[in-house]
Structure 1
Amino acid sequence: MNLQSPAKPVFHLDDYPYRLSDNVRYADLDPNHHVNNATYSSYFETGRVSLIRDPKFGLMPAGLSWVLAHLAIDFRAEVHWPGTVEFGLAVSRMGRTSVTYDQVVFHNGQCAASAVSVTVLVDERSRKPVPLTDEIIAKFQPWLRRS
């Protein structure tokens, strides 16, 4: 039996081709005076939605929409106010109807949280999943994880 703890993952913001920055808001804090765990879900949502909905990237086909199917967050360090955070996003996998993202939040050069999220492409009327087209797959290529 191996009782050694697994190696801690190492995160580099440069591995995430889509990046944004934002201010930490006082409203993001909890009674412990650090960013509340629920706020990270909003940080990760900002990263995904700003990429997917930006018209210049063409990732929102007419009549279709992206729905969040999975979000798993690991909290790695505290973030305090005031300050800024940097969001990083990379596509790690494309399935038949879904896209999986690796996401990070950095603060003062340190990874404060990481997440894996999955969005599913659905028909806006039927709300049923639809296959990714070759065009959508091609448009996601610049956002593939670099490492």
Structure 2
Amino acid sequence: MEAMLKGYPVITEIPVAWGEMDALNHVNNVVYFRYFETARIDYFLQLSLMDDLQKTGIGPVLKETQCSYKIPVTFPDTLYIGSKIREMGDDRFTMEYSVYSKKLGKITTTGSAEVVMFNFKTNKKATISAEIRTRIEEIQAETDAMPV
């Protein structure tokens, strides 16, 4: 697993639940977006983004997300979702995800998300603060994956 998720500083472990499978006996496509959300929130917690949101009213909003299904996943299994920030702009960043199946020993799914910083007090986009930018760089420095 370590080799396949190299470059992902945050790894989220998620057991596959029986109820996540669909009529075709594999994890339903929509469930992966919940997995990505869980991984994204884990990353945000490491950044203290949710604490900052409570203090400043500025926080992350999902602008767009995508998923590429490579191999079906079935119950029982344990998934490890690697997340990283691939690039940063003034007011947004792009996250990347890879889903590793313990049972299959392979990456089964990949995805990405564009996240925009938003000021909930003014209802307008906000810039990524210097503090958050530094925290992202510190987390990414733990791997070979530095954002542009």
- TM-score when normalising by structure 2: 0.84
Task: Measure the CA separation in 2 of the matches of 1:118 and 1:143.
Answer: 18
Question: Does the 8 Å CA contact 1:91/1:143 hold for their aligned counterparts?
Answer: no
Segments of structure 2 that go 5 or more residues without pairing to the other structure are none
1:5 equivalent in structure 2: none
Segments of structure 1 that go 5 or more residues without pairing to the other structure are 1-10
Deviation at residue 58 of structure 1 after TM alignment: 2.2
2:123 equivalent in structure 1: 127
Runs of 4+ in 1 over 3 A off after TM superposition: none
Question: Is 1:24 aligned to residue 32 of structure 2?
Answer: no
1:14 equivalent in structure 2: 6
Task: Measure the CA separation in 1 of the matches of 2:27 and 2:139.
Answer: 27
Task: Measure the CA separation in 1 of the matches of 2:21 and 2:128.
Answer: 38
Deviation at residue 49 of structure 1 after TM alignment: 1.1
1:3 equivalent in structure 2: none
Task: Measure the CA separation in 1 of the matches of 2:80 and 2:96.
Answer: 14
1:88 pairs, out of 82, 85, 108, with 82
1:72 equivalent in structure 2: 66
- Paired residue type of 1:146: D
Question: Does the 8 Å CA contact 1:99/1:119 hold for their aligned counterparts?
Answer: yes
2:113 equivalent in structure 1: 117
Question: Does the 8 Å CA contact 2:8/2:84 hold for their aligned counterparts?
Answer: yes
Deviation at residue 143 of structure 1 after TM alignment: 3.5
Question: Does the 8 Å CA contact 1:59/1:139 hold for their aligned counterparts?
Answer: no
Deviations 1:90-135 (A, max 9, x none): 1110111111111111103211110111111101122211011111
Deviations 1:45-75 (A, max 9, x none): 10001221x2x53223221121100101110
Moved more, 61-70 or 32-41: 61-70
Task: Measure the CA separation in 1 of the matches of 2:95 and 2:47.
Answer: 16
Task: Measure the CA separation in 2 of the matches of 1:45 and 1:57.
Answer: 15
Question: Is 1:59 aligned to residue 59 of structure 2?
Answer: no
SS of match in other structure, 1:37: coil
Deviation at residue 16 of structure 1 after TM alignment: 0.7
Identical amino acids, percent of aligned pairs: 24
Q: CA RMSD in A?
A: 1.6
Aligned residue pairs total 135
